[in-house]
Every structure is written in structure tokens, then in C-alpha cells.
Amino acid sequence: MTDLPVIRLRPKSKPQAIRHGFPWVFEDEAVLDRRTKALAAGSFAILEDAERKAMAVVTVNPASKIVARVMDSDPEAVIGGGWLQARLLRALKMRERLYDAPFYRLVHAESDGLPGLIVDRFGDVAVMQPNAAWADGMASEIADALVAVTGVTTVILNGQGRARSLEGLAERMEVLRGEAPSGPIEVAMNGAIYLADVMGGQKTGIFYDQRPNHAFAQRLVDGGEVLDVFSHVGGFGLAMLAAGAERTTCIDGSAPALELVRGGAKAMGATDRVEVLQSDAFKALEAMAAEGRRFDVVVCDPPAFAPSKQALEAGLRAYERVAKLAAPLVKPGGYLALCSCSHAADLTAFRNASARGIGRGGRRSVLIHSGQAGPDHPTLPQLAETGYLKALFFRLD
């Protein structure tokens, strides 16, 4: 690809970070002259250091704060169908070693060498989120590669979310290959059955990242009642039901999500053991405390309250408030799980906010386990954003 245009690092930038695996070049690190700014978003270029030594093939988006993303550390690499298939095959082999059934995150963006691209697999259906301009532009080629490598018959493009807006990409929803499923897809995990709405649900339809934390929550169940707040499709609630909880209460603001909770419970033959409540979570927690309700296990898995550094302070206050409101609902000797998917809030900050909230809720606690995303969401050590998920499990006195 020697005929590609060149994008060059500024003299005061640190090329060793790129050489050591950091995958991004920010706008203040590159020479953004008129020629570079004229490059089409999603096009490819050769990244050079200030001494004009070729470092990598990158994809360029002059309109983004991340002006370049490393595609391949080999400057001679050709980004095309064969290259895509090789990356997908590498990702697939690892997932097949980890999981018995084809239900997992197949591609976790930069961690799998496909920057900005998310692919979740639901058996014969793959749902892709192209959150970088190159992936959006090559969506058809990616769909072909997915079919060739994995054998899926349907590929859905779910182009929604904050990440796309940061890249200047419009929202889009398309079936690229095959036909859209006639209804939600059943996903079996940890002995529970979930319903994934891959066409109209949040993200790709289900959150695979919490799978190991669902499993840990199951170990805390000894009959009794459990509460799943911000439940979405019932991730924690249905898992604990499968582990022997007598009754699960799921709270979420989305009526369609709660219908999927009911559907999952029905598929498990446990309809009469599930209560769903459509409500603002904060108001629901306050109302339950006023009613004197208590649970053996309470789990709160809210959306990202701190999606950026600018939102960090307000986000930590929100996490603290969740902990404060949830703690009084836990029976003495029971368990409270608090989760964060905000990459801007690191583990220490989130743990401190959670502990403050529990204390303000009038309870004493010990932290018994810290969880993260499953291995189908690998973390790139050089990029903290890929290790976003935190799950803290406390025992309350």
C-alpha cells in the first residue's frame, strides 16, 4: 500500500507509544495540514514519525478527535477482504476455545485489531456496530467476511449510539445479509434463558460482558428474594432465578426491555417467580425503602453515568447515590452488587464512590469480589477504554 497518502506525527509527539501498541493518534499529535484535512473520513494512510519513518497503516478521520487509528503495524499491509477474514478468524478461534455455543462478542474493537468495530454473535445471526468511519464505509466487505469466516446467515448493522456521533456518522439500521429474525432470539447463559431483540433492543440486543458477573451473583443465592435494578432484559435477575432464588424483582425504565424479562422467565418456566416494575430506578429504590422491603441480594447495573472525563464528577455522585439508596434494601448479612460501564471512572474512583454511598446509606460493608467483563471482551493493555466494566460485590452487615 505504498501509494497511500501519508499522515505524519508532530515532532513533539511520542511515537514510541504507537510502537508499543497504543492504537490512536489524537488531533494535536498529528500534522494537520490542508492535504491531511482533505482526506476522506475512513480512508487509509501511512503513519510516519517526525523523521518520516513509516510506522503503520492507519485509518484517518480528520473530523474526529481521534484523527488516526492503527489498522496494522506493518506499513505494507493491504486492508481488504483477505485482511478482514484473517482478523475475524483469529477472533473466532479464541471465542470457540472459550465458549461451547456461538453466543458471544466476536469482535471487541481495538482489542481484536479491528478499531471501532463491535460484533456480537447470536448463533447464525451477527450484529455489527461500526463505530469508526472505516468500518462504516466497509460494512459490506465486513459482512461478506463474517459470512465466510463464521458461517452466519444473517448480518445486521446497528449504527446507533454516542460513539458514532463522535465520528460524525449518521444513525443507520440495516440487514446487510440474510433476513431479519422474526422475533427475539433465545440466548442461554449460566443456566438462564434471555431474549435478545437484535433489531430494536439496546446496543446489539444483549450485554454479553456481564456473563462472569452473573455467574458470581449466582453463587450468592441461597433461595430468598433478589432485586435487579436497571435490569435491561433481566441479566442478573434471571441468572439468580436459575440459581434457585425464590423470587426476582426487575426494575427498568424500558417497557420493551421488561417484556423481554417476562419472555425469558416464561422460557425458563418461572413466570410466577418474576416481578417487573417499570420505573425510574432512583424513585423505585426510595419507594421500596419507604415500604420497608428487603432482599437477600440487590444488584444495580446502571448505564454509563460517566461516559467522558467531563462527566466524571457528576457520574461518581450518581454512582454514590445508587449505593446510598440500594444499601438499606439489603437484609443483614445479604449482598449488594454495584456495576459501572463508565470507562472514565476507574476502579479506584468507582469503588470509593460505592463505599461512600453504602456508608451514607447507614450500612457497613466488606468488598468480597471485583469483577470485570468476560474474556470475549479482551482488554488492550495500552487502551484503558477497552477495560471499561467494573462489578463490585459487597457483603453488608
Tell me how crowded residue 63 is: count the other CB atoms within 10 A of its CB.
14
Q: What percent of the chain has pLDDT above 70?
A: 99
Taking only the tens place, the pLDDT of each residue in 196-238 is 999 987 778 899 999 999 999 999 999 999 999 999 999 999 9
Give mean pLDDT, residues 276-298. Answer: 97
Taking only the tens place, the pLDDT of each residue in 12-61 is 887 888 999 999 999 999 999 999 999 999 999 999 999 999 999 999 99
Averaged pLDDT score across all residues of the chain: 95
92 and 62 inside one domain: no
Q: What percent of the chain has pLDDT above 90?
A: 91
39 and 118 inside one domain: no
- How confident is the model at residue 231, as a pLDDT? 97
Q: Indicate the residue among 177, 195, 213 that finishes a domain.
A: 177
What CATH number has the domain bearing residue 14?
2.30.130.10
298 and 320 inside one domain: yes
Q: What is the crossing angle of helices 81-98 and 139-150, to 10°?
A: 50
Q: Is residue 1 part of a domain?
A: no
- How confident is the model at residue 166, as a pLDDT? 85
147 and 252 inside one domain: no
Give mean pLDDT, residues 83-103. Answer: 98
- How confident is the model at residue 200, as a pLDDT? 85
CA distance 9 to 338: 41
290 and 273 inside one domain: yes
Q: Is residue 265 part of a domain?
A: yes
42 and 110 inside one domain: no
376 and 267 inside one domain: yes
Q: pLDDT band at 2, cuts 50/70/90? A: low
Q: Indicate the residue among 72, 103, 121 that finishes a domain.
A: 72
pLDDT at 99 over 90: yes
Q: Is residue 105 part of a domain?
A: yes
Give mean pLDDT, residues 356-366. Answer: 98
Residue 339 a catalytic site member = no
- How confident is the model at residue 1, as a pLDDT? 46
Which H helix or E strand runs over 24? Answer: strand 24-26
Instruction: For residue 250, give the C-alpha cell.
Output: 426487575
Which structural domain range is residue 281 located in?
A: 185-396
Q: pLDDT band at 126, cuts 50/70/90? A: very high
165 and 199 inside one domain: no
63 and 202 inside one domain: no
Taking only the tens place, the pLDDT of each residue in 363-382 is 999 999 999 999 999 999 99
Strand partners, 59: 44, 69
198 and 170 inside one domain: no
Q: Indicate the residue among 72, 93, 108 that finishes a domain.
A: 72
DSSP 160: -
Q: What are phi and psi of 284, to 5 degrees?
A: -65, -40
CA distance 345 to 341: 8
Which H helix or E strand runs over 218? Answer: helix 211-219
- Give ∠ CA 307-311-315 in degrees, rounded to 5: 85
389 and 256 inside one domain: yes
Would you call 392 helix, strand, or coil by DSSP? strand
pTM: 0.94
Would you call 303 helix, strand, or coil by DSSP? coil
pLDDT at 333 over 80: yes
Half-sphere exposure of 159 (CA within 13 A, CB side): 21
122 and 149 inside one domain: yes
pLDDT at 84 over 50: yes
Q: What are phi and psi of 43, to 5 degrees?
A: -75, 170
State how many domains the chain has. Answer: 3
